[in-house]
Amino acid sequence: MTEYITLSMILFTIGAVGVLVRRNAIVVFMCVELMLNATNLALVAFSRQHGNLDGQVAAFFVMVVAAAEVVVGLAIIVSIYRTRRTTTVDEASLLKL
């Protein structure tokens, strides 16, 4: 069981670092997906550990929410690309003084 959790942690950390270092918004998004998937793996593993299916249901919900998030997020990326001709997250840095 420990190895599943360990793998989950490793994937999560890699995804998080990816979010921090990549600048292409789409790749950043993929890294977020990777983090979500890593947590799903942990949930499924916990589900087997405890012998009930609540973990799997939680993973299912995560997938649904992730799907919704991807749809909206990608739409935002597309509309930003349309106005600014770029998908670099650093370009959208107007939220400051």
Q: Which of 58, 20, 65, 19 is nearest to 39 (CA)?
A: 58
3-state secondary structure of 53: coil
- Closest approach, Cβ 73 to other proteins, in A, equals 9
- Closest approach, Cβ 8 to other proteins, in A, equals 8
Contact 33, 95 (CB under 8 A): no
- Closest approach, Cβ 33 to other proteins, in A, equals 7
